[in-house]
Structure 1
Amino acid sequence: MLNKLIYLILFSLLINSPLQARSTETIVIVRGNGYYPPNEMMDADQQLSGVHIDIVRAVAKLLNMPIEIKSLPWNRALHLMEKGEADAITHIGKTPEREKFALFYEGNTLSTTRNGFFILKENAADFNYTGELQQLTDNTIGTINGYSYGIAFDSAEYLNRDTGTDTEEVLLSKLIRGRFPIAISKIDRIYFIANKNKVRDKIIFLKPYMPGVEQYIAFSKVLNHQKIGLKFAAALSMFKTTLQYRQILAKYGLQVNDSSEP
C-alpha cells in the first residue's frame, strides 16, 4: 500500500505535469443526493456543504482542477460511474464490485465512518448480540439500497435484508413503524436524524459496532483516470497536513483522528 510519504513524493513529481486530456475539461464528480451530515449536506442557504465537499473543492483548487459536483440518486450516481459518464464519485466505500469501474487509492480517503445495528429500545430484550452476525439470522435487517456496509456485512449472504429504502430518514421511520425489527446504518448520522425528529430516546445501537469503513473520492477506471486519481491522492495527502484541513474539520465540530470521522 502506498503510504503518505510516497503520496507526498508523487505530489512533488506530478504537481507541474499535465493531466490527461479529459481533465483539461471540467471534472464531473457525482454523489448521492441524500442528507449525510457532517460530510455532505445542504446548508441553511440550500448550498451543498460538508467535510467531504469542502475538502474536495480545496484540493481541486490546489490542483487548478475545474470541477462540477452533481447530486443524484445513489444508484444513478453509481450507474454513471459504471458507464464512464462521470469522472469521480464521493462518499463511496470500496468493494470488489466497485473496483471494476472505480479507482480506490489510499490517499483519496475522505473519512472513516462506523456502522452499527439499531433497534427500538423497547425491544432490547429480544436481542442477544455480541458481535457475531450469525446471531441476527432470524431477523430482517433494514438497509439502504445500493449501500456498502463493509466486507463483513456485505459478504454475509445468509442474512435477510430489506433493501427497499433510499435514505436514512426513511430507514429510521420504517424501523419505528415496525417494518423491520433491526436496521444498519452510520451511527452518527442516525443519531443526528433521531435527535432532529425527537425520537432519540426510542432507539439504541447494539454493541459492538461494525468495523470502520473508509469513504473515498474514487476516480473512473472506465475513463482511465489513473493519473488524475493519483495526482488528486498526492495532493489530498499533502492537504491533510495543513492548517486549512484542520479548520475544515473544526468547522463541522470534528478534529484530526476523530473516532468516527476523518
Structure 2
Amino acid sequence: MRRLLWLAVLWSLALPVPAQTLLVAMEEADNRPFEYLDDQGNLTGFHTEIVRAVAKALGWEVSFLRMPWGRAQLSLANGKVDAVTYMGKTAERVKYAVFLDGNQLDVERVTLFVRREDAARIRYMPPVTSMMKRWRIGAPHGYFLGQEISDAVAAGLPLDQHAQNQAQLFGMLVAHRIDVAVAEKLALQLVEPEMPDVAAHVAPVTGAVFSGNPMYIAFRNKGDGPQLAKQFAAAYAKWRRGDVYPWLIARFKVYERVPDSFIPK
C-alpha cells in the first residue's frame, strides 16, 4: 500500500502544472506609445510588451482585456481581473489595489494646455489654485493628474471632468468649453491618432510641469493578488537587467517616462 501511495505521489508530481493566466485589464483607447492597436490590429505598446515579457519569464500566460477605464477599475476592485495597467496610486485605489514600487511602468508628468490663440494671454501662475480660481480648467474623468491638482479639488476648487479621455478633453478646449486642460506632458502625441491636427490648435503652457506621477501595473488585493504582485515585481527587476528593456525604451521613444531607478546602467 505504501508503495502504491508513493507511486501516486510521483505520478502527481510528473503531471504538467497548469500555467498561471494573468488577466490584465486596460483602457480601451489608443494610448500610444504605451498601449494601442497597431496598423494590423495587434495590441502592442511599451506597457503591453513589458507585461508580456515579464509574464513569459514567470511562465505565465497573459490575457489583456480592453474596456472603458471606469469598468477596468471596477473589475480590479471586484477581483474579476488580476491587474490593471496603467494606474496611478491614490488613497481611494489603495483600498482595492496593490501598488509596489517595483511594479512601476513609467512616470507620468503632467502639464497644462491652452488654445494656441490664448498662449500669450493665459500663462502659468503658481500655485495652480490661483489659475483654477480665474480660468475654467478641465481634466479627464478618472485620471490621476498629480497631488497638487487632487489637493485643489479636495479643497473645493472647480475642475471640469466631463471628458472621458484626453482626446475629448482637447476637444472641449478647442470648442471653448474650458480655458485650460490638465493632461499628460505627452498628451498631444498620445491623442494625435484621433485628432491629427491637435498640435495646430493646442499648445502646452510654458513652465507648467508638475511633479511626476508613478504609473503602475496594479494588482488586486483580493485572494492571491498580493502574492502575484510580489512575484511580478521580482521577475520584472531581474528582466530589466537584460537587453530587451533598453531596446523597448528606444523602440517606443519613452526616454522621459522611465523611472530614474529603472534606467539601465
TM-score > 0.5, shorter chain as reference: yes
Aligned: 1:248 with 2:248: yes
CA distance in 1, matches of 2:42, 2:256: 27
1:77 aligns with 2:69: no
1:87 maps to which of 75, 82, 88: 82
Identity %: 27
Q: Which residue of 2 aligns with 1:59?
A: 54
The worse-fitting range, judged by mean Cα deviation, of 149-158 and 67-76 is 149-158
Q: Out of 201-210 and 185-194, give the one that drifted further.
A: 185-194
Give the aligned partner of residue 154 of structure 1.
Answer: 150
Give the match for residue 260 of structure 1: 257
Q: Say if 1:261 and 1:177 are closer, same or farther in 2 by CA, change over 3 A.
A: farther
Q: Which amino acid aligns with 2:38?
A: D
Output the CA distance in 1 between the equivalents of 2:250 and 2:135. 39
Q: 2: CA distance between counterparts of 1:78 and 1:192? A: 21
String of CA shifts for 1:129-186, please: whole Å, max 9, x gaps: 2331122122222211111112221121233111111122221111111111111111
Paired amino acid for 2:149 = F
In the alignment, structure 1 segments of 5+ residues that lack a partner are 1-22
**C-alpha separation in 2, matches of 1:159 and 1:129:** 17
Root mean square deviation of aligned Cα: 1.8
Within the alignment, does 1:193 sit opposite 2:212 as a pair? no
Runs of 4+ in 1 over 6 A off after TM superposition: none
Shift of 1:25: 4.2
How many Å separate the matches in 2 of 1:191 and 1:184?
15
- In the alignment, structure 1 residue 108 sits paired with structure 2 residue 103: yes
CA contact (8 A) 2:138 2:182 kept: yes
TM-score (norm 1): 0.85
Query: What's the TM-score, normalizing by structure 2?
Result: 0.84
- Structure 2, unaligned stretches of length 5 or more? 1-17, 260-265
Secondary structure of 2:245's counterpart equals helix
Instruction: Give the secondary-structure state (helix, strand or coil) at the position aligned to 1:218.
Output: strand
Shift of 1:194: 4.7
Number of corresponding residues: 237
Structure 2 counterparts to residues 146-225 of structure 1, below 5 A: 146-157=142-153, 158-194=156-192, 197-206=196-205, 207-225=207-225
Whole-Å separation in 1 of the counterparts to 2:176 and 2:192: 16
Residues 23-73 of structure 1: per-residue CA shift (max 9 Å, x gap): 954221101111111111111111111000000000000000122110010
Change (3 A) 1:125 1:247: closer
Letter in 1 for 2:257: S
The one-letter code of the counterpart of 2:75 is L
If you compute each CA radius of gyration, which structure gives the higher value, 1 or 2? Answer: 2
Deviation at 1:125, TM superposition (A): 3.7
1:145 aligned residue? 141
Distance 2:32 2:86 in 1: 12
